Amino acid sequence: MKDLLIDKINEQKIIKVGDIVEGAVVGHGRSSVYVDLGIYGTGIIYGKEYQVAKDLLRKSALGEKIFAKITSLENEDGYIELSASKAGLDFAWTTIKEKKESGEPINAKIIGANKGGLLTKVMGLSAFIPVSQLSSQNYPKIDGGDSSKILKEIQRFIGTEMEVKILDFSQKDEKLILSEKIDEMERNKKLLEGYSIGDIVTGKITGIADFGAFISFGDNVEGLIHISELSWQVVNDANEVLKEGDDVEAKIVEINNDRVFLSIKALRENPWEKIQSKYSVGDTIDGNVVKINDFGAFIELKSKEDKVQGLCHVSEFGTVEKMSEELELNKKYKFEITSLEPQEHRIILKKAA
């Protein structure tokens, strides 16, 4: 890049505002730096432009070569006005573009963390590594997906270096997104070429989050079983049905580039298909209260073979307090079916008189 810039300058022989030039530091003023630009004369970095890059410029030794951008061809003292900060930024973004295109890895030192991911700098540019772009080894597989616990987990990386690649960038928006798992994603994508939707695989649960469970199968292919695909019953916490280290059988339901989604419930009989032949609106059934929240109580049908849940809405009681008085968790009551919609996997109940 440096050689290309120099060749460009030599070819043009004429400089203009906006050009990036290379020169040697020949002097330091109180708040200025003088740069020898050869046949073009002497440049100066001062005022606001000096303040922006003063930490860098103060350390520059006489004779040291630096890049700068021309902001004015001649000021009142006859110097060419320069901006080191603008040149450095342009050079940095050009390098970022080259590394993105080549796929070259970068070593980035982690300087901070927030609930979304890790903070770092690349060539002076602020950069971000989203949690989702951490490798499977470093991804915080926190039970329940608690954001404060995730933050605490990734804070351990502060002060360490990660090998990352450029995932996305925008010089206009000053956005630079990095990824630790690009190679892993490419590997996953290649391995998934050997699988199809509908394939049944056996794998091991490697982590559990609030949205589902991670599964590793085959040649360490990483996939996700969404919480809605764990069981035909309503699952509010994946830990209720799985734990890390479990061996499970699952069916591939979606393949999207490097990502694969699986289902455990797809391998089990759909209990909703038989519900309409067993129950009707107006029937009185036995049910066990398995969960109570602000909008109602989830009721598990007593019959173990059905394995479905209905909802007794809070409006049947008037208030949450009254509902909690009349229904106790893990207790059985009689309920009346007021609505039955098997295709929507929905049974609406009210407590029988």
pLDDT digit string (tens) for 261-305? 999 999 988 888 888 788 889 999 888 998 888 889 998 886 555
Residue 176 sits in the same domain as residue 218: no
**Stated pTM of the model:** 0.56
Domain stop point among 267, 283, 318: 267
Residue 212 sits in the same domain as residue 232: yes
Q: How many domains does the chain have?
A: 4
3-state SS class at 238: helix
First vs last C-alpha separation in the chain: 82
Residue 254 sits in the same domain as residue 196: yes
Residue 209 sits in the same domain as residue 137: no
Q: Which domain holds residue 121?
A: 103-180
Per residue in 12-57, pLDDT (tens digit) is: 558 899 888 888 999 999 899 999 999 999 999 999 888 877 777 8
pLDDT number for residue 8: 47
- Give the chain's mean pLDDT: 86
Residue 297 sits in the same domain as residue 344: yes
DSSP string spanning 90-104?
HHHHHHHHHHHHHT-
- Domain-located, residue 325: yes
pLDDT number for residue 224: 92
CATH code of 44's domain? 2.40.50.140
Is residue 252 within 8 A of residue 197, CB to CB? The reply is yes
- Domain-located, residue 194: yes
Residue 203 sits in the same domain as residue 251: yes
